[in-house]
Amino acid sequence: MNAKNLNILLWIAVTFWLVMMLNSLTSPGQIEPRNLSYSQFLQELSDGSVKEVTIQDQTIKGVRSDGSRFETYDPGDPGLVGDLLKNSVTIRAKPPEEQSVLMQIVAAWLPFVVLAGVWIWFMRRNAGGGGSGGIFNFGKSRARQHAEGEVKVTLRDVAGVEEAKEEVGELVDFLKNPQKFSNLGGRIPRGVLMVGPPGTGKTLLARAIAGEAKVPFFSISGSDFVEMFVGVGASRVRDLFEQAKKSAPCIIFIDEIDAVGRKRGAGLGGGHDEREQTLNQLLVEMDGFQGNEGIIVIAATNRADVLDPALLRPGRFDRQVVVGLPDLAGRAAILEVHMRKVPIATDVDARTIARGTPGFSGADLANLVNEAALFAARAGRTDVSMDMFEKAKDKIMMGAERRSIVMSESEKKLTAYHEAGHAIVGRLVPEHDPVHKVSIIPRGRALGVTLFLPERDRYSMSKRQLESQISSLFGGRLAEEMIFGPEQVTTGASNDIERATDIARNMVTRFGLSDGMGPLAYAEDEGEVFLGRSVTQQRQVSPETAQAIDKEVRVIIDRNYQRSKRLLDENMDKLHTMAEALLKFETITKEQIEDIMEGRAMREPEDDAGSSTPKTGGGNGAAKGGATAKQPPIPIGGV
């Protein structure tokens, strides 16, 4: 008997017992008798008011001469019967009431039934509750099944990942027309692994495949397989594939598969690992003796480097589809998809917004549209204008404004020179991203920021670009030192120094961009996938080499520090002018910065610039080093 039937029987028993109790306690159609004390009963008896009585158990029910009824308690008075006969009262006696056999059974077993029901409910809740996770289904799969045609998302709703859509497009063709491939001896891939940064649309793409092919779709998270009890994960894997076989052709989607598919043999002590047993069962189901024809496994992860090699071999996950960050055209397409649900003003251009959001993922762009709609709602508008998108972009990149912070004049002046130093050095060094905005309005955790926005998508960085970035990072600290003296330098440049040091060290140890150390990798091992680096870290360089690396990092830092200082010395008048403009307007844009750098009279900022353009920096969002991935906009500075 399953849990559902047991619940039904339990409710039937409780209902039956309540009905019987109500029937036994009430007598429909009768007037409730008035309760009397025994002394009152004796008084009425002596007055001759009592006509007849009925004695049953220890209860006396009677009728008065006027026809009214009463009831009292019989204390076992031995002279009562004599008094009744003396006053000519009709006496009736009834035997004690006996419960029916059914009522006796119900009364005897009802407590046990109630306790059993409470215990089952409690165990179901602890075991995960619901129809798929109770005590009776503990080893059952927790996958959520979407029936054929239930998934409404199609490939038309996916934008910005055209190459990935082409890769998985033939999966849709196979599910719709498998004969087309089997006639030529072709075999559809058993599994497709989607790899990419968070928020790029891996899950959405899997749902679109199921929606396009109109086949059953099973979705589950990798963490849903693993429990504290040994063997449960493997049992759930078996049950998942058993359900999928009954619905083939179908799709199984495992989100965050790295939760269960990490490399085996990395645990301490050599003991049995429940995670490994679950992975072993998954490997068998995907490509074992029993073929699972018509079942396509799609998995998503942003940590493909930690997955077990046996999981990635052909026959299991035959393909790895890279779902990367969208380019300019992809961002514009994604924005257009999300703008369908929002009333857009005529001045909004998706491509212009996409040009100003390099490095944004699909999830970031969806959040951008939502934030813009919220700004428009707060402003009482009926549509979302371009200005709302600019405000939303500033909030996402730099954080919300913190105008409640009251800064002293000396702090505002120091912040203004700090941010002006970043902007001037970044504007003058070669191949640096153009400065977009400079602000001294506190946002997030920073008191001010300088935002450099790339003009185009960037996939790699040259040595010159990295050194220019180091120079601009030191511009804020040097401006403080040159204007206020070494004793007045603040801690606001701590993040700038940290980022500059990381870039220089990566140039030496990872990117091979050091003249002194040459094109060798000196970065240390990142350790086992399950263990902390402190446990497994092994030093790959000798003490002498480590000392040489430190010396080379110092050479790079010193070279760019001196270049930044020289540029500020040569442009001291522009530094003062820009700082004064920041103190006056709080936020200046690239147009005003160009006016200052070209020696022209600075145009007045727009009225809305002060509230929408300030950038909160502190360097919290900058990309480190010259990574090969696309780089997000780099906010610098903040004190």
Q: Report how far apart, in Å, the C-alpha atoms of 622 and of each of 137, 451, 482, 558, 628 are.
A: 48, 10, 26, 21, 14
Helix 572-585 and helix 409-428, axial crossing angle in degrees, nearest 10: 130
Query: CB pairs under 8 A, 24+ apart, for 583-586?
Result: 583/412, 583/413, 583/416, 583/440, 585/609, 585/610, 586/439, 586/440, 586/441, 586/610, 586/614
Contact 168, 209 (CB under 8 A): yes
Q: Indicate which residue of 276, 371, 419, 586 is catalytic.
A: 419
Strand-strand pairing, 59-64 and 634-636: unpaired
580 part of the active site: no
What is the rounded CA–CA span in Å between residue 390 and residue 609?
10
The 8-class DSSP code of residue 401 comes to B
Task: Name residue 300's beta-bridge partners.
Answer: 194, 255
Question: If you write DSSP's letter for every residue of 137-175 in order, what string do you get?
Answer: GTTS--PEEE-TTT----GGG--S-HHHHHHHHHHHHHH
CA distances from 238 to 44, 155, 226, 315 (A): 82, 30, 13, 18
Q: How far apart are CA 296 and CA 190, in angstroms?
A: 5
Neighbours of 347 (CB within 10 A): 11
Instruction: Check residue 306 and report its DSSP letter.
Output: G
Please give the Cα distance from 467 to 522 (Å, whole number): 20
Q: Which residues contact 211 (CB under 8 A, 6 or more apart)?
A: 151, 152, 153, 154, 217
Q: What are 64's strand-pairing partners?
A: 50
What is the C-alpha to C-alpha distance for residues 54 and 57, in angstroms, rounded to an integer? 10
Phi and psi torsions of 144, nearest 5°:
-90, 125
Query: What is the set of active-site residues?
Result: 419
